[in-house]
Amino acid sequence: MKKIISAAFGLSLALLASTAFAAGPKVGVVVKIGGIPWFNAMEAGIKEQSAKLGVDGFMVGPTSADPALQVRAIEDLIAQKVDVIGVVPNDAKVLEPVLEKAQKAGIKVITHESPNQKGANWDFELASAKGFGEAHGKLLGEKMGGKGSYAVFVGSLTVPLHNAWADAAIAYIKAHYPDMKLIGDRYGVAEDLDKSRSTALDLMSANPDLKGFLAFGSQGPIGAGRAVEERRKDGKVFVVGPFSPGQGAKLIKSGALTGGFMWNPKQAGEVFITLADRLVKGETPKAGDDIEGLGKINPEGNTIVVDQLLKIDKESIDKLVGMGL
């Protein structure tokens, strides 16, 4: 009897060991905010690619777009001794110390939407800042006929990439549509639907000649679009920016939301896991490498940039929604 129990116990230990081994490297990805369509799609990519590569990958979504919550989440992942931490930063500067702490603990760090991030081993972008910003600036200029006032929303004034997009868009508009006037500077409300909506309503009330919103941040175009719909300004005030097609489909079809460009957040989730898997195996991305989800790369410093823009408009919206975006 003792032999049977001993054998069973030994088998249990062997199974536990094999299960732990099968789980593969542990990868935690901290996003800006949980529970919104953009990051839900990213989580789907993380899960699918993890299953494909045998990685224990998961997403952490804070309850609000607060850099302090991201710091806390990263501290928790360091305590868990994960192999790789992925982050979509709300504030690149605030995260530097905790990312460097992760690196000192022997944890690899990958960021997204934060080029040249200090404390990261690698950052990847599915769109160049200049190309992404200019594409939106051009679209807004065309829709507004090159005349009238417009406002710019960003996720926050401390998100480097959103502000780089805004810089590129504003510079493009100044160069190509000199009769367009920027109201104020920019408003850091675009990761909050309610704040985007209320700010857009206030700006339309205060500026009768306002004809456009350029919104960088996943909730900015939706909030501004709802404000345009409330004021029945469809086709008179144009809202341009990146957003989740599933969330904005009705507004696109009604004309309250004009459109924009995006990359696939699900693909970004997959790339987090693909890069993490390579780093854990000791592989360093280099020029000419063909990486799934990125194609051929040509890194600059610790940043990998590729241009894979998808247009969001009335013609493409159903297809994008059908892709689960």
List pLDDT tens digits, range 247-288. Answer: 999 999 999 999 999 999 999 999 999 999 999 999 999 999
pLDDT of 16 reads 39
The pLDDT of residue 146 is 98
d(CA 114, CA 25): 24
Token pair for 150:
């417009």
Assess whether 250 and 214 both reside in one domain. yes
Residue with tokens 């702490």: 101
Class of residue 192 by CB neighbours under 10 A (exposed 0-12, middle 13-18, buried 19+): buried
Q: What is the pLDDT of residue 91?
A: 93
46, 56 in Cβ contact below 8 A?
no
Q: What is the pLDDT of residue 76?
A: 98
Select from 24, 13, 146, 34 the least CA-distant residue to 90.
Answer: 34
Residue showing tokens 């905790």: 98
- Distance of alpha carbon 276 from alpha carbon 246, whole angstroms: 29
The model scores a pTM over 0.75:
yes
Residue 323 located in a structural domain:
no
89 and 176, same structural domain? no
Strand partners, 109: 85
Same domain, 152 and 298: no
pLDDT for the residue numbered 51: 98
Size of the chain in residues: 325
CATH number of the CATH domain containing 250: 3.40.50.2300
**pLDDT at res. 323:** 82
Residue 317 lies in a domain: no
Residues 55 and 159 in one domain: no
Q: Are 150 and 140 in contact (CB under 8 A)?
A: yes
Looking at the structure, tell me whether residues 248 and 163 fall in a common domain: yes
Q: What pLDDT is stored for residue 239 in this prediction?
A: 98
Q: Rounded to an integer, what distance in angstroms lies between the CA atom of residue 160 and that of residue 262?
A: 17
The crossing angle, in degrees rounded to 10, of helices 37-53 and 265-280 is 40
Looking at the domain assignment, is residue 108 inside a domain? yes
Looking at the fold, whether 9 and 110 belong to one and the same domain comes out as yes
Domains contained in the chain, number: 2
**322 belongs to a structural domain:** no
d(Cα 159, Cα 262) in Å, to the nearest integer?
Answer: 17
| Spans of the chain below 50 pLDDT | 1-22
Host domain of residue 93: 2-127+264-309
Does residue 85 sit in the same domain as residue 208?
Answer: no
- Domain closes at, from 262, 280, 297: 262
Q: Are residues 7 and 18 in the same domain?
A: yes
Q: If DSSP states are collapsed to H, E and C, what string results for the chain?
A: CHHHHHHHHHHHHHHHHHHHHHHCCEEEEECCCCCCHHHHHHHHHHHHHHHHHCCEEEEECCCCCCHHHHHHHHHHHHHCCCCEEEECCCCHHHHHHHHHHHHHCCCEEEEECCCCCCCCCEEEECCCHHHHHHHHHHHHHHHHCCCEEEEEECCCCCCHHHHHHHHHHHHHHHHHCCCEEECCCCECCCCCHHHHHHHHHHHHHHCCCEEEEEECCCCHHHHHHHHHHHCCCCCCCEEECCCCHHHHHHHHHHCCCCEEEECCHHHHHHHHHHHHHHHHCCCCCCCCCEECCCEECCCECCEEECCCCEEECCCCHHHHHHCCC
225 domain residue, yes or no = yes
Tokens 């224990």: give the residue. 56
User: How many whole angstroms separate alpha carbon 294 and alpha carbon 127?
Assistant: 10
Q: Is the same domain home to 215 and 144?
A: yes
174 inside domain: yes
Same domain, 34 and 106: yes
Alpha-carbon radius of gyration of the chain:
22
For residues 123 and 221, state if they share a domain.
Answer: no
Same domain, 61 and 157: no
Give me the pLDDT at residue 324, please: 78
Q: Does 35 map to a domain?
A: yes
How far is Cα of residue 66 from the mean position of the Cα atoms in its chain? 15
Q: Is residue 315 part of a domain?
A: no
pLDDT for the residue 2: 41
